[in-house]
Chain A
Amino acid sequence: MRNEIIRLENVITSDVTKTNLNNFNLHLFAGEILGLIAVDEHGKEKLLEILYQNSSIRFGRIYFKEMLVNSYKYSDNTFNKVYILSQKSKLIDHLNVLDNVFVLKRGFRKYIINSKVLAQQFYRLLEESEIDIEINPYDFGDQLTEYQRCVVEIIKAVVQGIKVIVINNISSELSEKDLKAFKLFLKRLVLNGYGVLYIGNHHEEVFPISDRVALMKNGSIIKVFEKDELFEQNILPYTISMDKTETSLKRSCAEGKILFKGITTEYLKDITFEVQKGTCVVLYDRSNKVQQDVISCLIGENKMNTGEIYVETEGVRKKIEKKSWKHQIGVIDENPIKNNMYHNLSFIDNFCTFLDNRKKTVYISGKLKASIQKEYYKELGKALYETNLNKLGKTDLYNLVYYRILLQNPKVVFIAQPFTDADMYLRFHIIELIRMLKQKEIAVIILAFTISDNLHIADKFILIEEGYKKKEFLPEEFSDIQLDI
């Protein structure tokens, strides 16, 4: 007999304009990790909401430990024993770990707090979870690394008596190494009777940890894979193909390359590699340090210790001076919708942000904007005329980010973790956008700490360990990458 913790049965929810969850059926047993892959984002937020709180639903029933807690006939807005671990921290920054874990617990009624006793309890909980991590219980919430924060939040949930832990897309916050350790921690956790709903966008991430995996699309569960069905070929019919459809560049057009020679930064040590125009190189580092290091150098936060960047065309090598980096190197940060946008500006104003590279004056005339709108209307459509970015979907916003780079026309563009938080359709779209940059002869360098879909667009894969270049893989060797890493 299995102990069922949560069951959603025929759940239909809707807001004013659309249906979120559409005949949604899912159940989670105690002691299992149920993977959930959202093919699209439709209804995901609502699912998290109704798991946490018994808010009104249009149809269906929700059971917690086989007791009816919410139905279309009656919703009492009470809270379920569900903890949602997401990218945004739920810890209070200016309270230490002990306060966050123990003092903020509902029902904690002590007037004199003995930190030593609480610290002992905290260490005991850490020891019981057999996790290899060092956490200072007196550190403040904002002093913790992402990995520490995730572990502390889970311990907080355990202390609160939570039965279901929802892991919502945290892979982009953790390095490959930390993610592996965290998954091991979750596996040990469920042995104590907890249920974990592990939400991810990619089957490569979700399959290895899960006992079952549910696929969600258009607000419904379209398939549940059992443990013995968790193979890549089983999920392929439910996904969209991301295989290469790009026509290979004519080498005559794409002649020329960018050379990175002896690059040494705070983390990187004497890295030398080259990238052909119109091709894509993935710099892969499991520790997530390359990404932060390179981006901070490019945007001028940190300095590159040694090393030069050259452009080589027809055998003539020309150095790119640091002062002209801004004009010749494009940067797309991780999660660009959040990090690379001015949400109080209109679409066209955001679109023209980098135009000062090509136009000397700061002022961009309305006439020029109108001309740009006319030129890009075919690709970007009505979104070009939108004044409020919040009204646009993710596809339009990613179009803005990538077409803006096209307008900037740099020699090389650095993209940090391009597929973070993207559902399957959006990932496909991002691949198309990166292919477009390649077609326009822009060299693309992806800074990644997860392999994800990067191999679909990569022409070269460089493995970095401890700051040193360990190995280079060409497309015909990509199948060996999994084995090597």
Chain B
Amino acid sequence: MKHRYSISKAIKIWIYILGIIYIFLLLMLLFISVNEHKYYVFLAVGAAGAVLAAYTGYFLVYRRNKKIEKICQLYIEGYITEEEYEKNVMISDMIDAVYKCQSEKLDKTKILNLSKKQAQYLALQNQINPHFLYNTLEGIRSEALCSDMDRVANMAEALATFFRYTISNIDKMVTLEDELANVENYYIIQKYRFGEKLQLKIEYGDDLSVLSFKLPKLILQPIVENAVYHGIENKLGQGTLKIQVNYTAKRLLIKISDDGMGIEKETLEELNTKLLTNSLEDITESKQKKGGIAILNVNNRIKLLYGEEYGIFIQSLRNVGTDVQIVLPVIKE
């Protein structure tokens, strides 16, 4: 049989009916009290009943119901992910059991594995991307013709180091120094293509201990690559990439800025909204959207590994540049 109302609505209607009965009984009591000139009986019983009902109703029902409604609303709007499954909403024992069962079914490692696969896929794609290889080889060839062999050797070394780092052990933790070295390697390779058009600055202050902090592998390079291809490549004149590292007691803050083409306002808003939480959405989309996917992928990996308080946020203005802010936990060991 299909019911007209949900159970929560039915409970509300039932409470209203009880309320009406209560008021009716109070009126009866009032009538009796007035007849017998005992107003205080009515006042005492009525006030005590009202206070008790309001107090218990607020703490036992209203506040909890509000909390559940807020969680449901946020879930519908897409703000909440797996963490909410771990919360005990306590609607009823049976519903909670169903809820727990459902949360077990949603295996969050699935997203993590997919993200890793996606990162490996992007890395492999880099390896076999003909444009990437052609441009790089073209650089090697022209260097071989025009200059001494030393530079060609440097270039080949940079390329080999880059591939070695990128392809192996994607789920390994590395030091910030390794990550920055990989970015510098990538820059050396791209430098042969872009020449003086591309500049890289890395700033981490005087405190060198930050370089030994651990972070997941391939967090920085995909974002730098994005900045080069989507930001600086189409820009007229020189473009500068800047990586600034800062840290607090609990957070490692990395800002990757470029003064390239920037992102359209609507695209930026859409991207930042997606970066609020992790999801399977967009991970498996076509390679035309590779730029956005790389950032989403890195963000997903960070959030899945460390929780939703870490991740990426983007600030950008068309034709001015883009800042990508990465927030990671400080991991020293």
Show the binding face of A for B, using Cβ within 8 Å.
1-4, 9-10, 23, 25, 27, 29, 59, 61, 66, 72-73, 221-224, 226, 237-238
Instruction: Find out whether the CB atom of B313 lies under 8 angstroms from the CB atom of A3.
Output: no
Measured CB to CB, the nearest residue on chain A to B248 is A4
* Top 10 closest pairs, chain A to chain B, by CB: A4-B248, A237-B320, A66-B250, A25-B313, A59-B79, A2-B248, A23-B272, A223-B315, A10-B276, A1-B247
**Shortest Cβ distance from residue B318 to the other chain A in the assembled complex, whole angstroms:** 9
A237 to B316, alpha carbons, bound, how many Å? 11
Instruction: Find out whether the CB atom of B317 lies under 8 angstroms from the CB atom of A223.
Output: yes
Scoring B residues 261 to 276 as 1 if CB is less than 8 Å from chain A, else 0, what string do you get?
0000000000011001
CB-CB < 8 A to A3: which residues of B?
Answer: 248-249
Scoring B residues 308 to 331 as 1 if CB is less than 8 Å from chain A, else 0, what string do you get?
010001010101100101010000
Instruction: Find out whether the CB atom of A238 lies under 8 angstroms from the CB atom of B313.
Output: no
B246 within 8 A of A: yes
**Shortest Cβ distance from residue B220 to the other chain A in the assembled complex, whole angstroms:** 18
DSSP class of A's interface residues: helix, strand, loop or mixed? Answer: strand
CB-CB < 8 A to A25: which residues of B?
Answer: 313, 325
B150 within 8 A of A: no
Instruction: Find out whether the CB atom of B74 lies under 8 angstroms from the CB atom of A72.
Output: yes
12 contacts across the A-B interface (CB closer than 8 A): A1-B248, A1-B249, A4-B251, A9-B309, A10-B313, A27-B253, A66-B248, A66-B249, A73-B71, A222-B317, A224-B315, A237-B320
Instruction: Find out whether the CB atom of A221 lies under 8 angstroms from the CB atom of B315.
Output: yes
Task: List CB contacts (< 8 Å) of B232-260 with chain A.
Answer: 244, 246-251, 253
Question: Contacts A10-B313, A222-B317, A224-B315 known; A59 to B276 CB distance under 8 Å?
Answer: yes
Instruction: Find out whether the CB atom of A61 lies under 8 angstroms from the CB atom of B309.
Output: yes
CB-CB < 8 A to B273: which residues of A?
Answer: 23
Measured CB to CB, the nearest residue on chain B to A67 is B250
Given A1-B207, A23-B272, 13 new contacts (CB under 8 A):
A1-B248, A2-B246, A2-B247, A3-B249, A59-B74, A66-B250, A66-B251, A72-B70, A73-B71, A221-B315, A222-B315, A223-B323, A226-B244
**Shortest Cβ distance from residue A8 to the other chain B in the assembled complex, whole angstroms:** 11
A61 to B250, alpha carbons, bound, how many Å? 15
Instruction: Find out whether the CB atom of A238 lies under 8 angstroms from the CB atom of B315.
Output: no
**Shortest Cβ distance from residue A21 to the other chain B in the assembled complex, whole angstroms:** 13
Show the binding face of B for A, using Cβ within 8 Å.
70-71, 74, 79, 207, 244, 246-251, 253, 272-273, 276, 309, 313, 315, 317, 319-320, 323, 325, 327
CB-CB < 8 A to A66: which residues of B?
Answer: 248-251
**Shortest Cβ distance from residue A101 to the other chain B in the assembled complex, whole angstroms:** 32
A27 to B276, alpha carbons, bound, how many Å? 17
**Shortest Cβ distance from residue A336 to the other chain B in the assembled complex, whole angstroms:** 33
CB-CB < 8 A to B315: which residues of A?
Answer: 221-224
CB-CB < 8 A to B251: which residues of A?
Answer: 4, 66
Measured CB to CB, the nearest residue on chain B to A215 is B315
CB-CB < 8 A to B249: which residues of A?
Answer: 1, 3-4, 66
Of B253, B315, B323, B325, chain A has the most CB atoms within 10 Å of the CB of B315
CB-CB < 8 A to B272: which residues of A?
Answer: 23
Measured CB to CB, the nearest residue on chain A to B273 is A23
Measured CB to CB, the nearest residue on chain B to A71 is B309
Measured CB to CB, the nearest residue on chain A to B330 is A1
CB-CB < 8 A to B246: which residues of A?
Answer: 2
Question: Contacts A4-B251, A25-B325, A66-B250 known; A238 to B276 CB distance under 8 Å?
Answer: no
A27 to B253, alpha carbons, bound, how many Å? 11
Of A10, A27, A66, A222, chain B has the most CB atoms within 10 Å of the CB of A10
Of A29, A224, A238, chain B has the most CB atoms within 10 Å of the CB of A224
CB-CB < 8 A to A1: which residues of B?
Answer: 207, 247-249
**Shortest Cβ distance from residue B244 to the other chain A in the assembled complex, whole angstroms:** 7
Measured CB to CB, the nearest residue on chain A to B262 is A237
CB-CB < 8 A to B74: which residues of A?
Answer: 59, 72
Question: Contacts A23-B273, A222-B315 known; A72 to B79 CB distance under 8 Å?
Answer: yes
Measured CB to CB, the nearest residue on chain B to A72 is B74
A224 to B317, alpha carbons, bound, how many Å? 12
CB-CB < 8 A to A226: which residues of B?
Answer: 244
A445 to B21, alpha carbons, bound, how many Å? 74
Instruction: Find out whether the CB atom of A237 lies under 8 angstroms from the CB atom of B309.
Output: no
CB-CB < 8 A to A4: which residues of B?
Answer: 248-249, 251
**Shortest Cβ distance from residue A215 to the other chain B in the assembled complex, whole angstroms:** 9
Instruction: Find out whether the CB atom of A238 lies under 8 angstroms from the CB atom of B309.
Output: no
**Shortest Cβ distance from residue A164 to the other chain B in the assembled complex, whole angstroms:** 15
A66 to B329, alpha carbons, bound, how many Å? 12
Instruction: Find out whether the CB atom of B320 lies under 8 angstroms from the CB atom of A238.
Output: yes
Measured CB to CB, the nearest residue on chain A to B318 is A237
A375 to B315, alpha carbons, bound, how many Å? 45
Measured CB to CB, the nearest residue on chain B to A65 is B249
Query: Which of A9, A29, A61, A224 is in CB contact (< 8 Å) with B323?
Result: A224
Instruction: Find out whether the CB atom of A238 lies under 8 angstroms from the CB atom of B79.
Output: no
CB-CB < 8 A to A221: which residues of B?
Answer: 315
**Shortest Cβ distance from residue B309 to the other chain A in the assembled complex, whole angstroms:** 6
Instruction: Find out whether the CB atom of A237 lies under 8 angstroms from the CB atom of B207.
Output: no
**Shortest Cβ distance from residue A69 to the other chain B in the assembled complex, whole angstroms:** 13
CB-CB < 8 A to A23: which residues of B?
Answer: 272-273, 276, 313
**Shortest Cβ distance from residue B63 to the other chain A in the assembled complex, whole angstroms:** 11
A244 to B324, alpha carbons, bound, how many Å? 36
A238 to B317, alpha carbons, bound, how many Å? 8
**Shortest Cβ distance from residue A59 to the other chain B in the assembled complex, whole angstroms:** 5
Measured CB to CB, the nearest residue on chain A to B259 is A234
A73 to B207, alpha carbons, bound, how many Å? 36
**Shortest Cβ distance from residue B300 to the other chain A in the assembled complex, whole angstroms:** 15
A23 to B271, alpha carbons, bound, how many Å? 12
Instruction: Find out whether the CB atom of B79 lies under 8 angstroms from the CB atom of A237.
Output: no
CB-CB < 8 A to B313: which residues of A?
Answer: 10, 23, 25
Instruction: Find out whether the CB atom of A237 lies under 8 angstroms from the CB atom of B276.
Output: no
A92 to B309, alpha carbons, bound, how many Å? 41
CB-CB < 8 A to A61: which residues of B?
Answer: 309
CB-CB < 8 A to B207: which residues of A?
Answer: 1
A222 to B317, alpha carbons, bound, how many Å? 8
CB-CB < 8 A to B317: which residues of A?
Answer: 222-223, 237-238
**Shortest Cβ distance from residue A416 to the other chain B in the assembled complex, whole angstroms:** 35
CB-CB < 8 A to B320: which residues of A?
Answer: 237-238
A111 to B279, alpha carbons, bound, how many Å? 60
Measured CB to CB, the nearest residue on chain B to A236 is B320
**Shortest Cβ distance from residue B239 to the other chain A in the assembled complex, whole angstroms:** 15
Measured CB to CB, the nearest residue on chain B to A61 is B309
A221 to B313, alpha carbons, bound, how many Å? 11
A88 to B253, alpha carbons, bound, how many Å? 36
A226 to B276, alpha carbons, bound, how many Å? 24
CB-CB < 8 A to A27: which residues of B?
Answer: 253
**Shortest Cβ distance from residue B288 to the other chain A in the assembled complex, whole angstroms:** 26
**Shortest Cβ distance from residue A386 to the other chain B in the assembled complex, whole angstroms:** 32
**Shortest Cβ distance from residue B37 to the other chain A in the assembled complex, whole angstroms:** 46
Measured CB to CB, the nearest residue on chain A to B309 is A61
Measured CB to CB, the nearest residue on chain B to A3 is B248
**Shortest Cβ distance from residue A72 to the other chain B in the assembled complex, whole angstroms:** 7
A59 to B272, alpha carbons, bound, how many Å? 13
Measured CB to CB, the nearest residue on chain B to A5 is B248
A25 to B323, alpha carbons, bound, how many Å? 13
**Shortest Cβ distance from residue A309 to the other chain B in the assembled complex, whole angstroms:** 49
Of A3, A61, A237, chain B has the most CB atoms within 10 Å of the CB of A237
A65 to B84, alpha carbons, bound, how many Å? 26
